[in-house]
């Protein structure tokens, strides 16, 4: 969707036309400014084709047969944001235990959608009619982006998982569901090792392990 806003110029004496320049502040400094020309009979202009949640700097020159004026003061304007238009991609869900799964994804491009504040990670038990439960992932508080752990799940149970981005204007579309099943047993905990007896030529060791999960070796 094109973003637009209107600028109103002050009246200038003996003008023939205005030259107007604008630049997106995230551009490299050596990139040329974009410009539009406005008839001398006009004192305002609407700029279209801008990006949502993006900051632009504008300046205006007046021109006549004798030459061109210096630029006006810079006018810095940030366009309104819109909710993300695209869903996160490449959703992957890995069971870590009988009660926890790890969710990873690739987020939509922030340059096309404005700034993302975070993601909603939804999950639901496929063996019931319960609605989705959502976990909020705040980007500003995450050490690892595009990753979340879902805990307190039921053992050996299938879940549907989906992810959607959000910003100040609301949530975007949800990704396709990914089905995952929690493990029936948990990975074994680390054994506790201790020394039983030592001699000049040998050491006798003993360890204890958790009996909750089966041990195969």
Per-residue pLDDT tens over the stretch 130-187: 999 999 999 888 767 799 999 999 999 999 999 999 988 899 999 999 999 999 988 7
Specify whether the CB–CB gap between 122 and 163 falls below 8 A: yes
* Mean per-residue pLDDT, 34-45: 77
Specify whether the CB–CB gap between 18 and 62 falls below 8 A: yes
Mean pLDDT over each residue of the chain, to the nearest integer = 80
Cα(155)–Cα(63) distance, integer angstroms: 75
Task: Count other C-beta atoms under 10 Å from residue 161's C-beta.
Answer: 22
Specify whether the CB–CB gap between 16 and 4 falls below 8 A: no
First-to-last alpha carbon distance for the chain, in angstroms, is: 60
Banded pLDDT at 113 (limits 50, 70, 90): very low
Closest to 114 in 3D by CA, of 49, 167, 173:
167
Residue 19 has pLDDT above 90, yes or no: no
Looking at residue 53, its pLDDT comes to 76
As a whole number of Å, the CA-based R_g of the chain is: 30
Report pTM. 0.64
87-104 burial, b if ≥16 CB within 10 A, otherwise e? bbeebebebeebbbbebb
Residue 77 has pLDDT above 90, yes or no: no
Looking at residue 8, its pLDDT comes to 44
Torsion angles phi and psi, residue 113, rounded to 5: -125, 0
Specify whether the CB–CB gap between 175 and 123 falls below 8 A: no
Looking at residue 213, its pLDDT comes to 56
Residue 13 has pLDDT above 60, yes or no: no
Specify whether the CB–CB gap between 115 and 26 falls below 8 A: no
Cα(99)–Cα(161) distance, integer angstroms: 14
Residue 22 has pLDDT above 80, yes or no: no
Banded pLDDT at 67 (limits 50, 70, 90): confident
Looking at residue 135, its pLDDT comes to 96
Give the bridge partners for 18, in sequence order: 38, 62
Cα(118)–Cα(129) distance, integer angstroms: 27
Banded pLDDT at 24 (limits 50, 70, 90): low
């Amino acid at each position: 969707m094109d973003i637009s806003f209107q600028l109103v110029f002050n009246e200038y004496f003996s003008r023939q036309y205005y030259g107007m320049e604008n630049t997106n502040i995230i551009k490299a400094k050596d990139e040329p400014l974009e410009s539009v020309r406005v008839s001398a009979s006009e004192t305002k202009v609407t700029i279209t084709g801008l990006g949502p949640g993006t900051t632009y700097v504008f300046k205006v020159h007046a021109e006549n047969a004798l030459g061109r004026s210096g630029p006006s003061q810079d006018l810095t304007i940030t366009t309104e944001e819109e909710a993300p238009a695209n869903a996160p991609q490449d959703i992957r869900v890995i069971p870590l235990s009988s009660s926890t799964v790890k969710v990873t994804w690739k987020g939509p491009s922030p340059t096309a959608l404005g700034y993302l504040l975070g993601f909603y990670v939804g999950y639901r038990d496929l063996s019931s009619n319960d609605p989705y439960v959502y976990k909020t992932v705040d980007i500003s508080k995450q050490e690892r982006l595009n990753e979340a752990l879902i805990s307190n799940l039921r053992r050996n149970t299938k879940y549907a998982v989906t992810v959607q981005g959000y910003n100040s204007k609301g949530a975007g579309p949800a990704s396709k569901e990914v089905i995952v099943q929690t493990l029936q047993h948990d990975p074994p905990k680390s054994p506790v090792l201790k020394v039983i007896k030592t001699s000049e030529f040998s050491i006798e060791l003993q360890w204890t392990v958790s009996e909750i999960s089966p041990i195969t070796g």
